[in-house]
Structure 1
Amino acid sequence: MRLTLDSRPGANLVTRIGPAGIQVGEDVLDASFIISPGELLRRWAVSDAATLDLAALAPALALEPEILVLGTGARIQFPARALFAELAAKGIGLEVMDTAAACRTYNVLAGEERAVVAAIILP
């Protein structure tokens, strides 16, 4: 699936989602990753949303998001409820969705110049 682009030049955006991986610019990523408009962490050692905690999200939180978009694969897999509360206490909204929706949402929010970070879990 090709995603349309309508954003500021130079921002990291997801340009394609397919069986080989997720394309960000010219890079095709085939492992879990973290993306913000200005940063791309190509390898993120997380493979399951159910085990997520603040320590696992530390690389994403270091980018100081107001909104954290979590892509959990072909189906939505929610992390522990406590994580939502911990992030809310830090002033960070957590949006959990399937990976394709997470990538589209991230692109829209990045295009609006919001303080967004996406954490994408790939098998």
Structure 2
Amino acid sequence: MAPRFDRDPAAGGPVVQGFAAGGFSVDGGIYRGLLLTPRSALEWAPPPLAELTRDHFGNLLELSPEPEFLILGTGGAMAFPPRALVRELEALGIGIEAMDSRAAARTWGMLRSEERWIAAAIMPL
């Protein structure tokens, strides 16, 4: 049985319920990689981590108000994002917290249960 991640439904927005079929189970759908905001979940097919730029996030960072920070799931293992990406996001006033993708999914649920205004980009496992 796949692990489940439950949170207070009052926080609203997409809920990562667990891992299934090589991806993430979110509100009844399966996503290999995903972009999350407090309002939506979208399938994401990012390039390799070393090639990642702000442009690969689409409209993810255009929340109003701006997200407190971005959770970046780096795949099956923790890895550091490109320094240029970190600088680019910092210039926009957005911090980035990198962790492996499973940890990113769990962190998303925990922080959204606290009603934190965040965004997440979670690379496939």
TM-score, with normalisation over the residues of structure 2? Answer: 0.85
Q: Partners of 1:89 and 1:19 in 2: how far apart?
A: 37
C-alpha spacing 1:87/1:9, structure 2 compared with 1 (3 Å): closer
Task: State, as a whole percentage, how many aligned pairs show the same letter.
Answer: 39
Aligned to 1:55: 55
**Amino acid paired to 1:3:** F
Structure 2 residue runs without a partner (length 5+): none
Q: Partners of 1:9 and 1:54 in 2: how far apart?
A: 27
Aligned to 1:5: 7
Q: Partners of 1:86 and 1:47 in 2: how far apart?
A: 17
1:70 maps onto 2:97 in alignment: no
1:94 maps onto 2:96 in alignment: yes
The aligned length equals: 121
Q: Secondary structure at the match of 1:8?
A: helix
Q: Secondary structure at the match of 2:60?
A: helix
Whether the 8 Å CA contact 2:72–2:120 is kept in 1: the answer is yes
Deviation (angstroms), 1:55: 1.2
**Amino acid paired to 1:50:** A
Whether the 8 Å CA contact 1:70–1:119 is kept in 2: the answer is yes
Whether the 8 Å CA contact 2:68–2:118 is kept in 1: the answer is yes
Q: Partners of 1:91 and 1:19 in 2: how far apart?
A: 36
Structure 1 residue runs without a partner (length 5+): none
Deviation (angstroms), 1:2: 1.4
TM-score, with normalisation over the residues of structure 1? Answer: 0.86
Deviation (angstroms), 1:23: 0.5
Aligned to 1:110: 112
Q: Partners of 1:122 and 1:98 in 2: how far apart?
A: 10
Q: Partners of 1:90 and 1:15 in 2: how far apart?
A: 31
